[in-house]
Amino acid sequence: MFRSKFTRLAALAASALVLTTGTHAQTGKPTELKIGITTFLSGPASVFGVPAKHAAELYIEQLNAAGGINGAKIVPTFIDEGVGSDKLLSEYRRVVQEQGVRVMLASISSGSCNTIAPVAEDLKVMNIMWDCGTEKLLEDKRYRYVVRTQANATTEMVASVLYLLRVKPDFKTIAVVNQDYAWGRDSWELFSNTLKALKPDVKVVAELFPKFGATDFSTEVSRLQALRPDVILSTSWGGDLDTFVRQSAQRGLIRNSLFVLPLAESSLERLGNSLPEGVIVGARGDHYFLHPELKDDPKLKNFVQKFKEKTGAYPIYSVYHMVQALDGLVAGYDKAAKSNKGQWPSTEQLADAMHGVEFRGLTRSVKIREDGQGLEDQLLGVTRKAPGYAFPILDKMAIYPAELVTAPVGQKSPEWVKTLKPEIINSPRIKTFASADK
């Protein structure tokens, strides 16, 4: 009897020891760090999402070969954003609650970020918004567990207006052709409000919003040919942008007006010679494989070479944003571990450390402000054909410092851009680069 009771007590003690050890292991440094990554693997946005997945695989392999994050091997799980918001959210919850993922990189779509951010806060999971651009998310609410490692739409649109006014200061008329959804409408609001503040005499002759995913722009092209605006803006992206540019080029529209395409860096290689010289193109950041300051920097140069070997293409902005998010995560863990006397930090310690962290991805450094918004400089240029490339490259580049073109903490972008003064157009903080020789 006594022997049997002793045996049961010993078994209970052993179980308690196992549980105690297990709990301790969860707060210590793990051998693996599981991260979830949402990206478009299907649908029209896969033109960004698939290259970003390739970038994540390539860069995580490099990080793990160098020891991972403070000795913990990074193990990614990819989730397709193209499945729709309900299923995306279900998968997001599943990997966090069932697989024990404590860090998520989400997302490309601003709609996805709007959906996920409050969920991440409820789940207390560290969420890095690695590509979505909506400025409203972090201006309308403060989050502890949500940060963004790149710029927002305000930074991108204000820089685009400033570059346009530098290149073509005397234009009188403008038209816009944007995709008919939140990004198309919101980015035009930011662009037009900035333009009104800096050059109020410009007349908007057409505001065209073809449906998302349109394949025929003949109506828009015909109307613009009749109106002949000095400038045509399109913040569209992916297949919509490529089709609009090709149809505009075929009918000669692109020769009659100056095209401004803030997101077209990702289309340069796909469009090839359909895109003529002299088009203003933005890079959604300062990243570009022919970066005027860093094209020969070993980190950028080696990554571009390896990415091209893996995919057959040059990196586009979603690729740079993915690497930036991973480098931001590494920097956050380093900062949190130092604050924790070298011990592996909790998710809360990591989340707190991400606010205020400064790090470098493949190009210039990025700093995350106290509101979670990343400050990322912006590069724009005009297209130029060059020997050795089957597509136009960027020339006459300029880089705009993020602090100059981003709404300060606590201010709402649509109102802040109305306060801008013309002196900002030629600010000495803007770095310009001379035209390369042909």
249 in the same domain as 327: no
415 has pLDDT over 50? yes
Residue 11 domain-assigned (yes or no): no
Residue span of the structural domain in which 177 resides: 154-283+377-432
Report if residue 24 sits inside a domain: no
Interatomic CA distance for residues 263 and 188, integer angstroms: 13
Residues 318 and 269 in one domain: no
pLDDT over 80 (residue 25)? no
Q: Are residues 66 and 171 in the same domain?
A: no
Domain count, the chain: 2
For residue 166, what is the domain's CATH number? 3.40.50.2300
Q: How far apart are CA 166 and CA 105, in angstroms?
A: 36
Q: Is residue 26 situated within a structural domain? A: no
158 and 260 together in one domain: yes
Whether the CB-CB separation of 285 and 320 falls below 8 Å is answered with: yes
| 27 falls within a domain | no
pTM confidence score: 0.92
Give yes or no for residue 230 having a pLDDT over 50.
yes
Same domain for 178 and 116: no
Residues 225 and 274 reside in one and the same domain:
yes
Rounded distance between C-alpha atoms, residue 167 and residue 236, angstroms: 21
| Residues 371, 381 within the same domain | no
Q: Are residues 300 and 197 in the same domain?
A: no
Q: What is the mean pLDDT of residues 394-405?
A: 98
Q: What is the distance between the alpha carbons of residues 396 and 168, in angstroms, rounded to a whole number?
A: 13
Residues 264 and 382 both lie in one domain = yes
In this prediction, residue 182 has a pLDDT band, given cuts at 50, 70 and 90, of: confident
Residue 337 belongs to some domain of the structure: yes
d(CA 202, CA 224): 16
The last residue of one of the domains, among 327, 357, 375, is: 375
Residue 21 included in any domain = no
Write down which residue in 353, 375, 397 finishes a domain.
Answer: 375
Mean pLDDT of 206-214: 95
Please report, as a single letter, which amino acid is at residue 4: S
- Split at pLDDT 50, 70, 90, the class of 434 is confident
Quote the mean pLDDT of the chain.
93
SS3 37: strand
The answer on 356 and 219 residing in a single domain is no
What confidence tens digit (pLDDT) does each residue in 101-143 have?
Answer: 999 999 998 889 999 999 999 999 999 999 999 999 999 999 9
Contacts of the segment 414-419: beta carbons below 8 A, 24+ positions apart: 414/189, 414/190, 414/193, 416/154, 417/154, 417/157, 417/158, 417/190, 417/193, 417/194, 417/197, 418/193, 418/196, 418/197, 419/197
Helix (H, G, I), strand (E, B) or coil at 230: coil
Residue 129 lies in a domain: yes
Q: Are residues 104 and 250 in the same domain?
A: no
Predicted confidence at residue 412, as pLDDT, reads: 96
Confidence band (pLDDT; 50, 70, 90) for 27? low
CB 391 within 8 A of CB 420: no
Q: How far apart are CA 402 and CA 409, in angstroms?
A: 13
The edge-to-edge listing of strands for the beta sheet with 203-208 is: 203-208, 173-177, 231-233, 258-261, 280-282, 378-384, 393-400, 431-432
Confidence of residue 3 (pLDDT cuts 50, 70, 90): very low
Residue 163 has pLDDT above 60, yes or no: yes
7 in a structural domain:
no
108 and 198 in a single domain? The answer is no
Residue finishing a domain among 327, 343, 375: 375
